[in-house]
Each structure stands twice: as C-alpha cells, then as structure tokens.
Structure 1
Amino acid sequence: MNVTEKLAVLADAAKYDASCASSGAAKRDSSKTGGIGSTGGMGICHSYTPDGRCVSLLKILLTNFCIFDCVYCVNRVSSNVRRARFTTDEVVRLTLDFYKRNYIEGLFLSSGIIRNGDYTMEQLVEVARSLREDHAFGGYIHLKTIPDAAPELLAAAGRYADRLSINVELPTQAGLDALAPEKNLQKIRGAMGEVRWRIEDGKAARKAVRRGSAKPPRFAPAGQSTQMIIGADAADDRSVLQSSANLYGNYQLRRVYYSAFSPIPDASARLPLVAPPLAREHRLYQADWLLRFYGFDVDEIAPADGTTAAGAGMLDLDIDPKLAWALRHPERFPVDINHAPREMLLRVPGLGTRNVARIVQSRRTGGLRVADLARLRAPMAKVLPFVQLLDHHPRRQLDDPVRLRARLAPPPRQAGLFG
C-alpha cells in the first residue's frame, strides 16, 4: 500500500475511538503561517477546547493489526478486515505535511497491539519524540497508551504528549472477562495511577523551581482521559456512572467519553444485534456533567431503587437527568432565586453554571423578577415551574409531577418518509 491507501484504512479504523479531545492545545495564528483556516478531510476530526475553540486533529491508528480478540472491536485478531500499518516516519511526515497546510493543529494517535504492549508503546512514543525533538513540532499530541507497557514508556509518552488516554472499554471486570478476556481492569487502573502520579509529581517539581530558573518539562499538561463502550455488555447506567465517578475521584481524569456500541462486521453472537439508542449515550454525557460540575452523586442520578421511569439503574431517555431528579423530589422546590444558595440553584432544571453565576452576581444589587431571568436566555418553560421570584410563584404545579413531566418532556418523534 502507498501512504494514501494506508491513510484511508487507518483513519477509518480510528473512527470508533470517541476520546479525541484537545484541551491544552495552543492557538494558531493563520496570518503568520500563511494559512487560510482549517478544513475537513480524511483522518481529520474536530474537537473543542474548554474555551470553545474548534481544533482539528489528524486522527489515525499506527496499525489496525492487533493480537487481542476483543469481541466488540472491528480490529480484533479474528476480524476479516483490510489491514494496514504505518511506519513511524510515515506518521511523522503526514502530521507535518497536514500541519504546514493548516489542515490540522495536532495529532491523535492510537494503535492495535502488535507483538506486545511494550513494542507498540515504543512505536507510539517514537512518533511523538521525533515530532518534538527532530522537527520541533509545537502542535498538540494525544497518545493512546498501553496498560501493559513498562512505566518507563509511560513516562516517555507523557514527556512528549499533551494528553494521554487509556481506554477502560467496559465499566466492569465481568464485562471485560466476557468480551475482552486479554484486558484486566486492575492493570488499566494501575497504569492510570502511574500517569496521575507523574502528572502531580511534574506539577510539584515545576512549582518548586525558583523564579527565573529553567523549569522541568511538563508531563501530559492536558491530563488523561478514557472511553467506555455503552450497550455492548449488560452493564446498566448506574454501573457506568459509578465507574466514572471512581475514575474521576481516584485518577483525576479530565474526561470520560461514552461511545454507544455500534454493530460491526462478522459480529459475535455474544454481542447485541442492535445498537443502543443514541439518546442513552447523550443522557450519560449529561449525567457525567452533573457529577463533575453540579454537585450530584450517582445515587441521585441513577438510583438503585427503581424510582426512575426507565427502571432500576437506568437513566430516563425522554428527559434529561437533572429534570428527572427534580421531578422525583418536588419537596425540594420551588427554589427561591433571590435567596437560595448556589448549590441549590445548580439543581434547578434549565439553569447552567454560567447562569447561576450571573444570578448570584445580579441579586446582590436587588431582587430578581421574571424579566431578569428571561434576559439570561434561560429556557423559561423548564425553569419557571421550579423557581420562585418576586413576581412569580409556581403555585401548585409541583403537586402533580406526572402531569408536569408530560408537559416538559419533548413529544416523541414521528417517523418520516425515510424513517
């Protein structure tokens, strides 16, 4: 194969990895590089940084050869797919060529396991090393790391990459035993712990350096992330979120990405015949946001007692998890916008962190009314049943949560000509 043919195969093989993140990437000035902006193309994915910038990354696998036989993976050893493999020099040249043409701002590089974990990790690290040291590449690099790789290789990866990620794939060891027997959750978390320790140690070392002295290089300054496949095994949403909460708390992950299982060619009989609804993936992302930024815990979002409409351990698909919690707890409402603490304002359906910050700031100068809330462009139909203002009280709307739910839930979609 020539490089273009390899790119077609290995860019397509990389599309199943959802954890293509770019927080930590530096801004580029097209006027200084002679470029005219970014464009989409084969192998290019678009990610968003925390400040809202869209960043284009070359997203490829080093190879889709793999010695593992994970049932849910299209690149498993028993899969009958077209195989390809880049050399490290080919990946370096592709990255530099795309970057110089202003197509991309960085590289997202993953790989199947070839020979063993150490050998594969050496190849990934060599790409990043060559870009940084041989070509003074200042763009963003995100490397997938191999849990079985030696700690020295993880250390080298973090010196060259902005972000590292290790995919847990499934939330429980039972799921891995059934569908990915070569993978071990304890080893994956051990590697995550190694990365966390090195990130924290690097930060401490930089802080200890006196002003004016040369600081040691950063270790994976954009942190680490992971991905979980949803719907390939029997794990419910509660199990998924419990695993995520544990990863955030113990390993300081920047993001957990959720990828709805997609049926693959020559699928095993152990896999579902149909993909889970994409709404489930969307609700998990919303629930993840509540865990990270809104002060909720897993028991509140996905209770084990079956009080959700979807059943024990599952998120409702027709309404978002914050609204679902509010409807299950009408005794906590209405919330007095002018006096409630920030923590309770964050639990009001329809109010995000920015609007809550603006409310807290605005009410210092006087009481807020409905018109003041409307100026924040909050979704008033969702917010008003749960709040009290100087000129508004929801009266008895919360006395009938079932009726309120029916009013706030979006109507079911009607199938059109093309389904």
Structure 2
Amino acid sequence: MKDSTIKKLEILAESAKYDVSCASSGTTRKNQNGGIGSARGWGICHSYTADGRCVSLLKIMLTNFCLYDCAYCVNRRSNDIERAAFSPKELAELTIEFYRRNYIEGLFLSSGIIKNADHTMERMIRVIKDLRTVHRFNGYIHMKTIPGASSELVYQAGLYADRLSVNLEIATEPNLKRLAPDKDHQSIYLPMRHIQQHMIENKEERQKFRHAPKFAAAGQSTQIIVGATDETDQQILQLTSKLYKRPSMKRVYYSGFVPVNSYDKRLPVVKDVPRIRENRLYQADWLLRFYHFNVDEIVNDDHQELDLDMDPKLSWAIRNPSYFPIDINRASYEKILRVPGIGVKSARLIVSARRHGRLNLDALKRIGVVLKRAQFFIICHEMHSFKLQEASADYIRLSLKEPSGLEQAQAKQAPKQLVMTL
C-alpha cells in the first residue's frame, strides 16, 4: 500500500470516528457466482454479536474537507486540521484490498460536504456502485445521506447500500441553527422522507416483479448528539418516538457530546462525556422498541430527565407501586415484561414454561430472571407478595443502585462498558 494512501487512511478514519450511527446491518445477502463477500443477518459493525463474534467494517470518510462550520464537528470548516480526500476509485479499491486481507467485512461511508450536497452524494455513490458492479462486492455497505441531496441521488444510493443514514445531530431546530448555521431540520428530514418513500415504492415494485433490485434493505438510521445543547431527555425521547413511527427508521443512536474543538462560546464546557446519560437513553430506547412502553411512562413533565442512578425500567417500576406485584404464574406476557430483571426472552420462556406447571424461584433462575431485581415486584410459587410502597421505595433504590464511577474506582474495579440491564 502506498504511503500516501496510508496517510489518507489515517486522517479520514480519524475524522469518521465520532459518527456512531452504524451498527448491525439487519440484512442478509448471499454470495453470488463470481462475486466476493456476503452480508450476514447479524450485521457488520465495531461490536460483538450475542455469540461472541467480533464484526468489523471500514469506517471512513471520502473527504474531511467541508463547507459547513458546525460547532460540534471536528471537521468543521474553521478547524485547522489535516485534510485529505480519496477519489471514488481509490476508496473502492482500498475497501476491496482490506476485505481480501480479512481486515473488514463491510464499509461505513460518510463525507464532508464538498461544493454542494448533490456533488458530494454523486462521488459517494460512485464508490459503492464500483464496489457492487465492478468488484462484485456483496458485503454490507452503510452510507451516510447528505442533507439536501436530491431524491434521485438518494434512490441511486439505496440501490447499492444496505442501510442509509441521515444524522439529525441536534434534537431541536433552534439549537441546531445555533450550532450548525448551514443546516436546518427541513434539509435533514427531506432525505429521510425520500428514503421512506423509495422503500415503500420498492416494496410495491418487488411484489409485482420478484427480481427487482432491493432499495436500502436494512432501512435507515440517525444520530442525536446528547449534552451539547439543553434539550431534556423528555424532548429527545419524544423525538425518538416520532422517528420510530416511520416504517423505514430502524435505529436512533445517541452520541454523548465530545468536546473535540477549541473553546466555542456556543458549546458547553464539559469535564466528562455524558456516557451514563447516553446509556440511559439507549435503555429507554430499548423500552420503546421492545417492551411496549410509551414515552410518557418513561419521562414526563414531572420527570423530564432519566435517573442516572438506575435504569429507566426500574425507575418506572418504583414510581408505579400500584402496578405490582406481578404473579408470574398468572400474569400476561405484557405485564411480566415490565418487571425489572425480566427481559424479552425470559418473559417468553416464563409464559411457555408455566404451561407445564407452576414456576418457583429455581425455575426462574434457570430461565434467566435476575432475581436480585425481580424479587421486589413478583409473586411466584415460593414467594409471597412484597408490598411495594413509598416506604420501601428508598430501600429498593438503595439496594439496586448502580455504583458510581468513584465507587467503582474505590473498589478497584476495572472499567467496564455500560450494560443494558433492564
């Protein structure tokens, strides 16, 4: 590999690392005769799958030159940083070379804005079109859609990419305009609508013509920056809920604000990246998508911010003592799903297993129920009701409170990734 290519790779991979809106592909593509690679259903991302496999992708920018001057972005126009750009052919060949070396399994492609949105999109499309048609690459491709791009270019991108993303970045329009004067929500929502419309039309076309090409089979995603502005968790999750009502929206990602630029009076002075808040938003997002919660149950006018000391499911349970206790052997799946310490899989197993006999504590342990949490909220064959009242809420909160960073350090525990315990 040429030294110049390596240098570009170092610059543009570094420039791309703050975009978190890439994860599991959600699509499957088999290898075709004469082609290389495949897209597995469990996805391509910098992550570990449930069975322990580490999957990877080349996360890269076509260029970090940018016309925009967004306060929160390391690649903003006014920043004095090293700039670089790949040609579309160069980046396509680099992706294939990395795949052949078994470094990657797919591509996440983004770019700074050069000339205008359509010009940038055209160059990005050339990269993924070459991968599909010239190199016959069947692996996973995720491409950022540039705000303001035309419907036709969005359609072309979706013919070659598995997933398209358009990042909202800031949850409210006034704050977005303050930090990113070149952007507005209209220019961001427009390509989102284009993606959705093309997906609907493509589905209808494929019903008529079975061999019609798929459009963005893994849907679209977006990213919201957390902590750069004053939006409450309630505002962020209300926006998230609206986005998930779009049939094309598969994931909303939350990125704790990282102060990557020199002092800017438009941005807050932060000591630490809000990782715990970021994690709580992911947990709340999980409740919206898989646990049948609505936003007002998680956050509302009386509780506008998520509890940083405990996950939102436990916080909701403590605030709603009248809902409990839940009889594991009689309650519906939907009610069991709301018990802290019981996940989607465990709830299904409980409903299935109790058909063959009454469940006791040992059975719940084998199923995977976290009894340390669930014990306060359930009745089973061996357990009588623990009456959840205001007097006992503080005890439960103290018993199940997650240790702070200071407490973890004092206990000399190695730092661990925050887990989604619901």
Query: Is TM-score (shorter-chain normalized) higher than 0.5?
Result: yes
Question: Is 2:259 the counterpart of 1:263?
Answer: yes
Cα offsets for 1:156-182 (capped at 9, x unmatched): 000000000000001110110111121
SS at match of 2:376: helix
Instruction: Give the counterpart letter for 1:304 in structure 2.
Output: D
Please state how far the C-alpha of 1:395 moved relative to its aligned partner: 2.9
Instruction: Give the counterpart letter for 2:312 in structure 1.
Output: P
Seen in structure 2, the aligned counterparts of structure 1 residues 51 and 129 have a Cα distance that, compared at 3 Å, is farther
- Distance in 1, Cα, partners of 2:89 & 2:72: 30
Mean Cα deviation higher: 400-409 or 349-358: 400-409
Preserved contact between residue 66 and residue 77 of structure 2 (Cα < 8 Å): yes
Q: Which residue of 2 aligns with 1:181?
A: 181
SS at match of 1:400: helix
Mean Cα deviation higher: 181-190 or 332-341: 181-190
Preserved contact between residue 45 and residue 58 of structure 1 (Cα < 8 Å): no
Q: Which residue of 2 aligns with 1:40?
A: none
Q: Which of 337, 342, 356 does residue 347 from structure 2 map onto?
A: 356
SS at match of 1:174: helix
How many equivalent residue pairs? 399
Preserved contact between residue 226 and residue 274 of structure 2 (Cα < 8 Å): no
Preserved contact between residue 68 and residue 182 of structure 1 (Cα < 8 Å): yes
Question: Is 2:30 the counterpart of 1:20?
Answer: no
- Distance in 1, Cα, partners of 2:122 & 2:360: 61
- Distance in 2, Cα, partners of 1:141 & 1:61: 13
SS at match of 1:225: strand
Preserved contact between residue 226 and residue 278 of structure 2 (Cα < 8 Å): yes
Question: Is 2:405 the counterpart of 1:409?
Answer: no
Q: Which residue of 1 aligns with 2:319?
A: 328
Please state how far the C-alpha of 1:116 moved relative to its aligned partner: 0.3
Preserved contact between residue 321 and residue 388 of structure 2 (Cα < 8 Å): no
- Distance in 1, Cα, partners of 2:68 & 2:321: 50
Q: Which residue of 1 aligns with 2:296?
A: 299
Aligned-residue CA RMSD (Å): 2.4
Cα offsets for 1:310-363 (capped at 9, x unmatched): xxx110001000000000001100011111111111110011100001011011
The correspondence of residues 79-90 of structure 1 with structure 2, limited to 5 A, is 79-90=79-90
SS at match of 1:142: strand
Gaps of 5+ in 2: 38-43, 416-422
Preserved contact between residue 47 and residue 54 of structure 1 (Cα < 8 Å): yes
Q: Which residue of 2 aligns with 1:93?
A: 93
Preserved contact between residue 59 and residue 108 of structure 2 (Cα < 8 Å): yes
SS at match of 1:385: coil
Cα offsets for 1:67-94 (capped at 9, x unmatched): 0011000100011111111111111111
Cα offsets for 1:255-288 (capped at 9, x unmatched): 0000000011323121111144210000000000
Question: Is 2:11 the counterpart of 1:9?
Answer: yes
Preserved contact between residue 397 and residue 404 of structure 1 (Cα < 8 Å): no
Q: Which of 204, 213, 216 does residue 212 from structure 2 map onto?
A: 216
Question: Is 2:111 the counterpart of 1:115?
Answer: no
Instruction: Give the counterpart letter for 2:277 in structure 1.
Output: R
Q: Which of 264, 285, 300 does residue 288 from structure 1 map onto?
A: 285
Question: Is 2:367 the counterpart of 1:373?
Answer: no
The correspondence of residues 111-260 of structure 1 with structure 2, limited to 5 A, is 111-209=111-209, 215-260=211-256
- Distance in 2, Cα, partners of 1:200 & 1:15: 32
SS at match of 1:19: coil
Mean Cα deviation higher: 244-253 or 20-29: 20-29
Identity of paired residues, percent?
49
Gaps of 5+ in 1: 36-43, 307-312
Cα offsets for 1:85-123 (capped at 9, x unmatched): 111111111100011111111110000000000000001
SS at match of 2:86: coil
Preserved contact between residue 261 and residue 276 of structure 1 (Cα < 8 Å): yes
SS at match of 1:204: helix
Please state how far the C-alpha of 1:49 moved relative to its aligned partner: 6.4
- TM-score for both structures, normalised by structure 2: 0.89
Please state how far the C-alpha of 1:52 moved relative to its aligned partner: 7.3
Seen in structure 2, the aligned counterparts of structure 1 residues 128 and 186 have a Cα distance that, compared at 3 Å, is same
Seen in structure 2, the aligned counterparts of structure 1 residues 219 and 48 have a Cα distance that, compared at 3 Å, is farther
Mean Cα deviation higher: 286-295 or 250-259: 250-259
Preserved contact between residue 131 and residue 137 of structure 2 (Cα < 8 Å): yes
